[in-house]
Amino acid sequence: MTTGITFTFGGLKITNDTQVEETTGHPIPGLFAAGEIVGGLYYHNYASGTGLMAGVVFGRIAGRNAAAYAKGV
């Protein structure tokens, strides 16, 4: 048996570029988030299957930005 996160009503606050924000609201250099750990997507209910789309969309954005950060762009 293994565990996994299905969705969160809380989670990490991110910028539009998927950078994780610290408590002061400033992005943490080199730290990107995607998928179910991202906060602010769900408030009162969870629409079935939306986590998959959030993972795809934010994963693509985070992947591109993390690669650019690693290359020093």
Locate tokens 């629409």: which residue? 47
Segment 2-60, tens digit of pLDDT? 777 666 677 899 999 999 999 999 999 999 999 878 888 777 777 777 778 888 999 99
**Is pLDDT of 67 > 70?**
yes
Residue 2, domain member (yes or no) = no
Give the integer Cα–Cα distance in Å for 16 and 58: 9
What confidence score (pLDDT) does residue 8 get? 64
Q: Which residues contact 50 (CB under 8 A, 6 or more apart)?
A: 41, 42
Please, are residues 12 and 38 in contact by the beta-carbon 8 Å criterion? yes
What confidence score (pLDDT) does residue 14 get? 94
The number of domains in the chain is: 1
Residue 37, domain member (yes or no) = yes
Residue 11, domain member (yes or no) = no
Residue 56, domain member (yes or no) = yes
Please, are residues 31 and 19 in contact by the beta-carbon 8 Å criterion? yes
What confidence score (pLDDT) does residue 20 get? 97
- Give this prediction's pTM: 0.78
66 is in which domain, residue-wise?
A: 19-71
